[in-house]
Structure 1
Amino acid sequence: MNPYLDIALRSVAVYVFMVVALRLFGKKELSQLNPADIILILLISNAVQNAMVGPDTTLLGGLVAATALLVLNFILKKAMHRFKSVEGLLVDKPQILIHNGKLDFKLLSKLDISNDELKEAIREHGIEHFTEVKLAVFEPDGNISVISGDVRLRETHYKRRKAKKTLVRAQ
């Protein structure tokens, strides 16, 4: 077999493995990286490098591996946009954690979101207590979006965002 075809096939296999592994371990792990997460990513990349390029440590071997990964990623993104079933396999749907001040304890437990993590997310949105939350959603990217039941808070956040956009346009 052609050594560069071998590198491309190995790279594709590692890519598919990593997509499946990250899907199984969940999006929460990627939402906000801490030092241990960054170290893990670096070690995984080092661990799979040899699996992709084998004994070939040449520049061309590395470029072939990178090209194979980029092409596969491009194809996967196109397939996700065209076929919703592919997207459903790879990307979770947003999930409602709090609705009108009522927490979904089963879902929080299933997603392994602690009380402290949820409190931190609502505090980041200027809300003090769960009962003040109209909607809290666990997004596909692993972040928690929070909408306040207090109209004044929503207007304040909107005005601040709008003011920033106006400043950017003026410059």
Structure 2
Amino acid sequence: MPHDLLLDDAAGLLRTLIVGPLAYAFLVAALRVSGKRTLAKLNAFDLVVTVALGSTLASVLTSENAAFAEAAVAFLTLIGLQWIVATASVRWRGFARTVRSDPTLLMRSGEICEDALRRERITRAELMTVIRTSDTNDPRNVAAVILESDGSFSVIPEPEGPGSADYPLPGAGARGT
């Protein structure tokens, strides 16, 4: 077996052993300073930043051409962009609508919102899978199924009786039906 299949050179290993912990520690520190929102995955941009941070870390660990300083600048750039987008979203409603999607009501009181399923490209079978894998696994016991902004599903059970909490549902009008 050729030597280079297992190891190009010891310098590459040493570089990874030194740069890896430095890049990891820097990323963790930068994320702690930037706050929880940086990894919240509340919208598509948050998800992109999370994936890009992981990709950047992987690149600095595996590429001999990526210096630690470049990785640090890349981390700070991604975190800074995420901070700018999150801040702008909080301050300007129009900007928020541009970078995030609203939750979509897929089912309400046992009625499937066919238009919403079509618009979100979700099949009835997928909706039933979501219900079956939830704590409320019977569609007859479901008050609502919501496709959240982050792509996750919320299954809200029917209230237990008088005085039960009434859940605010998104898209009770045009979006959900």
Which one has a larger percent helix, Structure 1 or Structure 2?
1
Q: 2:105 maps to which residue?
A: 96
| 1:70 counterpart (65, 68, 79) | 79
Give per-residue Cα distances to partners, 1:57-98, cap 9 Å, x unaligned: 222122112211111111111111111111111111111111
Does the 8 A contact of 2:144 with 2:156 survive in 1?
yes
SS at match of 1:151: coil
Q: Return the match for 1:85 from 94, 104, 107.
A: 94
* Contact 1:94 1:137 survives alignment (8 Å): yes
- Cα separation, 2, equivalents of 1:74 and 1:62: 18
> Structure 2: how far apart are the matches of 1:69 and 1:148?
38
The answer to whether 1:118 aligns with 2:127 is yes
Provide structure 2 residue ranges, at least 5 long, that are not aligned to the other structure: 1-43, 60-64, 165-177
Give the TM-score of the pair, scaled to structure 2: 0.51
Native 8 Å contact 2:108 2:144 kept in 1: yes
The 4+ residue runs of structure 1 with deviation greater than 3 A are: none
Could you tell me which amino acid in structure 2 is paired with residue 101 of structure 1?
A: G
Structure 1 spans left out of the alignment, 5+ residues: 1-21, 24-29, 31-40, 50-55, 156-171
**CA distance in 1: counterparts of 2:67 and 2:137, whole angstroms:** 54
Counterpart of 1:128 in structure 2 is 138
Tell me the SS of whatever aligns to 2:154: strand
Pairwise CA RMSD: 3.1
Question: 2:106–2:116: 8 Å Cα contact kept in structure 1?
Answer: yes
The correspondence of residues 35-74 of structure 1 with structure 2, limited to 5 A, is 45=55, 57-74=66-83
Moved more, 85-94 or 119-128: 119-128
SS at match of 1:141: coil
CA contact (8 A) 1:127 1:148 kept: no
The alignment's TM-score, normalised by the length of structure 1, stands at: 0.53
The corresponding residue for 1:163 is none
Deviations along 1:27-70, one digit per CA (max 9) or x if unpaired, are xxx7xxxxxxxxxx69x947xx7xxxxxx622212211221111
The aligned amino acid for 1:140 is S
Structure 2 residue matching 1:92: 3-state secondary structure: coil
Identity fraction in percent: 24
For this pair of structures, how many residues does the alignment match? 109
Larger Rg: 2
